Amino acid sequence: MTPRGRIGAWLAMIAIVGGSALAADPPPVARPPAAPSPALEARLKNLETELRCLVCQNQTLADSNADLAGDLRREVRELALAGRNDAEIRDYLVARYGDFVLYDPPLKRTTWLLWFGPFVLLLGGGVVWWQVLQRRQRASASAPTHDSAAEARARALLEDEPPASSPARDATARAAPRRKR
């Protein structure tokens, strides 16, 4: 085989392999029965992690070893092979087991509290926080400002303090207020 011929053969092979890989991808809307394929497995895996096992309630259908979880996985697979899309499979299970099978609860009237409750609480907390801030600001604004007369009186009291029994104590008593300023 000439070098050029070899390259041509390689190109042909890549084209064939690449082409078949593309062909194996199922069409985005799987109406006709879906053939077992890695893509279907990935889709089922993904779907099963969104569904709750009814028996062991904190596990997904994918994680659970419960007998019912196995049956439901089989059911989901059969529905997928029959060409139903993910939404239809979810509806199928919700019709039988209720919204509880979904790990992601749907937004409807009965779940408003669930969805919006945290934001309402956050908003309420924000309002309270803002009010407290406002009140503090008002309080500090209306607080008496520097009262020089009072300070002079305090200083006089400190200066005229009778000498304490221990000199060390006396020193700290005198130093403390000054250090503060």
Beta partners for residue 150, in sequence order: none
Contact 73, 48 (CB under 8 A): yes
Nearer to other proteins by Cβ, of 57 and 165: the residue is 57
Q: How far apart are CA 36 and CA 24, in angstroms?
A: 10
Query: Which of 101, 127, 104 lies closest to 114 in space, CA to CA?
Result: 104
Nearer to other proteins by Cβ, of 14 and 121: the residue is 121
Nearer to other proteins by Cβ, of 25 and 71: the residue is 71
Give the three-class secondary structure for 110.
Answer: helix
Q: How far is CA 90 from CA 51, 76, 87, 98, 105, in A?
A: 8, 9, 5, 10, 12
Q: Does 139 bind other proteins (CB under 8 A)?
A: no
Nearer to other proteins by Cβ, of 39 and 68: the residue is 68
CB of 135 to other proteins, least distance (A): 9
Contact 82, 75 (CB under 8 A): no
Nearer to other proteins by Cβ, of 134 and 172: the residue is 134
Interaction with other proteins in 38-97: which residues (CB under 8 A)? 54-55, 57, 67-68, 71-72, 75, 94-97
Interaction with other proteins in 142-171: which residues (CB under 8 A)? none
Binding mask 95-114 for other proteins (x = CB under 8 A): xxxxxx--------------
Length of the chain: 181
Which residues sit at the interface with other proteins, rule CB under 8 A? 54-55, 57, 67-68, 71-72, 75, 94-100
